[in-house]
Amino acid sequence: MAPGSRSWGAVLLLAAVLPAACGSCGAEGGPLEPFDELYASGVEAYYGGDFAGAARCLEQALRSRRELRAERLRCRRRCRGQVRLAALGAGPAGELPFFWALLRRAGCLRSCEEPRLGATSRHRATEEVRSDFQRRVPYSYLQRAYIQLNKLEEAANAAHTFFMANPEHMEIQQDIENYKTTAGKVSLIDLEAKPHMEDYSAGVRHYDKEEYRLAITFLERALEGYYAEDEDCQIMCEGPQRFEEHEYLEYKAGLYEAIADHYMQVLACKHDCIRELATRSGRISPIENFLPLHYDYLQFAYYRVGDYVKALECARTYLLFHPDDEDVLENAAYYEDLLKGTLDLATIKPRKEAKALLRRHKLESHLLRVASIGLGFTYTEPNYWKRYGARQDEHSVPSSISSEPEDGPRLSLTKKPTPKPDRELKEGGPLLYSDVKFVYNSQQLNGTQRVLLDNVISEEQCRELHRVASGIMLAGDGYRGKTSPHTPNERFEGATVLKALKYGYEGRVPLKSARLFYDISEKARRIVESYFMLNSTLYFSYTHLVCRTALSGQQERRNDLSHPIHADNCLLDPEANECWKEPPAYTFRDYSALLYMNADFEGGEFIFTEMDAKTVTASIKPKCGRMVSFSSGGENPHGVKAVTKGQRCAVALWFTLDPLYRELERIQADEVIAMLDQEHLGPSEMNINPKDEL
C-alpha cells in the first residue's frame, strides 16, 4: 500500500462520485481525461481487487498529467508568439491597446487549449492530489498492482521511481532487492527523472573519476537542459494562483490592486524556479549553489583537457554569481596568464544565458521587494546562491585537487561549517518519582539526548486514560481533520488536554479521569526537565493524546510506515544528511516525549534512525507506562512502524525552552485546573508533587 501523508478519503470519495468506472480509462478521443479522476479510478480499482484496471487507470493518470503540462506549455508558447503585449500609450485611452492585447492572448489560450483539454475547470486537482503526484504516490500503487499481474520488471521500476522521492521508506528497499532476486538482473529506471539533474549527476561522477571529457559532455548537456527547463518553469507559473493570504472571492480590491496581487504571485513563482530546478524529486531543500557549480566544475575540467579559452569562459561565468570567490579569481588569473599573447582576452566573456538569467533574477527580486512594501505582503528573499558545497549529494571535493601545484587551478567548493549546539547537553538527572524505572540512556539507545523509562504511569492509570480517550477523541483531531494523515492504512484519532477537561467539566466523561490526562502530562514534563538537567524551565509546546488504528482489509503486504521518518523541529533531508531548521518545521521545539498506554496491538514499534532515514539505530516496543524522550532536532530522526492489527495509543508531548511558544491550550487548561481547585473538586489520584519524590 502506498505510503504517504494525506487523507485517502478524498480520493476514494472522488472515485465514488465519478460517472465512469475504471474500465473506461482506455477510452480514446475527446478531451483529455483529468488526471485526478483517473487516479481516483485507479485507487478504487486497486481496493476492489481489479489490478489490471488499477494499473491501466494509474498509467493513464500519469500520462494525462504529463500531457496536460505539455499542452499548456505548447499553447502558452504559441499565444505568447502570436499576441505581443502592447506598451501603454498616452492619454485617457492609453491603456486600451495593452488590455486589448491581454484579452486577445486570453482568448488565444482558451481556443488553443479547449479542443484537447476541455473546460479549464476540469483539470484543477486538489492540493492533496497534487501533493500525491509530487511525492510519486501513484507509483506505489502501481508497484503493488504490477506484482499481482506478475509484471516484475515494471514493478521494480515503479518501486524505484517511488523510492527516489521517498527514501525514508525502508520497506521499499527490501521490495527492490526482492525484485532483483526474483527477476534476475534488473536495470532500475526512474520514470520521473529530471534530465538536467541526471546529466549533472553523471557529469560529476565522471569528474570524480577524472574522466574530464565525459564530464564536460554531461555537464554541458545538463546546462542546456537546465535553461530549457527554466523557460518551461517560467511559462507554467502563468497558470492560476492560490492567493494564500486571503480568500479571493471575498477580496474587494480594485482593478490595479487585483492585477498587481495576482502578478506578484506569478512573479514569486517564477523567481522560485531556481529553487525548483535545483531540488530533487521528493526532497525538501535544493542542492546548494546548483547552477554555479556547473560552471565551477567545467572551468576546472576544461583546464584539465587543455581548453584554456573555455576554462576562462566558465570561470568568468561562475564569477557572475560569486564575484569575490578567491579560488576562482585566482583560477581566472591563471588561465589569463596561460592565454596571454595568444588572443584578445577581452573577447572571452561570461556566457550570455547565465548573464540573462541573473539580470532577470535581480529584476524579479527588486520588483518583489518593492511590491511587498507597497501592497503590504511579506516577502523574504532566499539565498539562492549559497557558496558552500556541502550539499553535493553524491560527491565531495575531488581528491585530484590535492595533486595540483599550489599555484594551479582549484575548485571553489568548501565544506559547510558544523553547527554548534545552542546549549550544553546533559543527561542523567534524577527521575523524581521512586516508581519510575530507568531502562536505557543515550549511549544504550545509540544516539544523543535519548532516554527510555518504564512505570511512568500504572496499569490502572493506563486503563483509565484509555477510557477517557474513547470518550473524547475525534477522528483527525490534531491533523487538520485528516483521518489518515500519515498512511491510508490506519485511522488517527486524538484529543487535547483542554478538550478532556472541558468534557469532564460538562460531565461527558468522569472529571477525575479527564484531570488524569492533565496530571500525567505534567509528570512527564517534570521528569524530562529533570533527567536532561535543563537549567531553565521546560514549557509545553503541544500535548496530544492520539490513537492509531489498523484498518481491516488494508494490511496485506504493507510497505509503508505508520509515521514516516522525521525530526520534530527541522525538515529532514536524508539525501543531504541534513535537517533544515526552517519553517514549516516547528523550530521552537526542544524536547519530545511519547508516553505509551497499551501493548495489545501488532507492529507500531517506535524507531530511531540515522539522518539517512534508513539506518535504524534503536527500536522500542510500546507498552503501558513506557516513555521515550529525546531532544527534538536532527540528531534524533524517528518514526513509527506500521500498526497492522489493533489500536496503539499514546500521549505525545512536545516541549520548548522559549516561553513565547508556550502551548495556549495548556495555559487555558491551567486556568481550568485553578478554577476546579477553587471549587474543591480536587486533583486526580495522581499527585504531581508526590511524597515519594526522590
Active site residue 105: no
Q: Rounded CA gap, 461 and 517, in Å?
A: 9
- Residue 536 contacts residue 426 (beta carbons within 8 Å): no
Cis bond upstream, residue 405 (ω within 30): no
- Helix, strand, coil distribution of the chain in percent, nearest 5: 50, 10, 40
Residue 641's H or E segment, with its range, is: strand 638-641
638 to 221, 609, 635: CA distances (angstroms): 39, 6, 10
Q: For 423, what's the count of Cα atoms within 13 Å in the CB-facing half-sphere?
A: 15
Of the candidates 437, 216, 385, the one whose C-alpha atom is nearest the C-alpha of residue 305 is 216
- Residue 577 contacts residue 685 (beta carbons within 8 Å): no
- Residue 513 contacts residue 561 (beta carbons within 8 Å): no
Q: For 29, what's the count of Cα atoms within 13 Å in the CB-facing half-sphere?
A: 0
Strands 571-573 and 578-580: antiparallel
**Alpha helix segments (H runs only) across 149-248:** 152-165, 170-183, 195-208, 212-236
What is the rounded radius of gyration, in angstroms, for the C-alpha atoms of the chain?
A: 29
Measured from the Cβ of residue 389, the count of other Cβ atoms closer than 10 Å reads 22
Q: Sign of the CA dihedral 583, 584, 585, 587?
A: positive
Measured between alpha carbons, how far apart are the two ends of the chain, in Å? 49
Q: Is 508 helix (H, G, I), strand (E, B) or coil?
A: coil
**Alpha helix segments (H runs only) across 18-124:** 35-47, 51-82, 96-117
Q: Rounded CA gap, 126 and 68, in Å?
A: 15
Residue 512's H or E segment, with its range, is: helix 511-531
Q: Rounded CA gap, 203 and 199, in Å?
A: 6
Q: Rounded CA gap, 310 and 410, in Å?
A: 15
Of the candidates 572, 642, 581, 582, the one whose C-alpha atom is nearest the C-alpha of residue 609 is 572
Q: Rounded CA gap, 240 and 265, in Å?
A: 9
Residue 433 DSSP class:
B
Of the candidates 515, 451, 502, the one whose C-alpha atom is nearest the C-alpha of residue 684 is 515
314 to 330, 389, 560: CA distances (angstroms): 13, 18, 45
617 to 454, 609, 640: CA distances (angstroms): 20, 5, 13
Can you read off the three cell numbers belonging to residue 380? 523574504
Secondary structure of 399-422 as H, E, C letters: HHHHHCCCCCCCCCCCCCCCCCCC
Alpha carbon of residue 470 to chain centroid? 33
Q: Rounded CA gap, 554 and 607, in Å?
A: 22
Residue 592, beta-bridge partner list: 630, 654
Of the candidates 629, 633, 630, the one whose C-alpha atom is nearest the C-alpha of residue 578 is 633
Which member of 135, 410, 558, 648 is catalytic? 648
Residue 2 DSSP class:
-
Query: Which of the residues are catalytic?
Result: 648
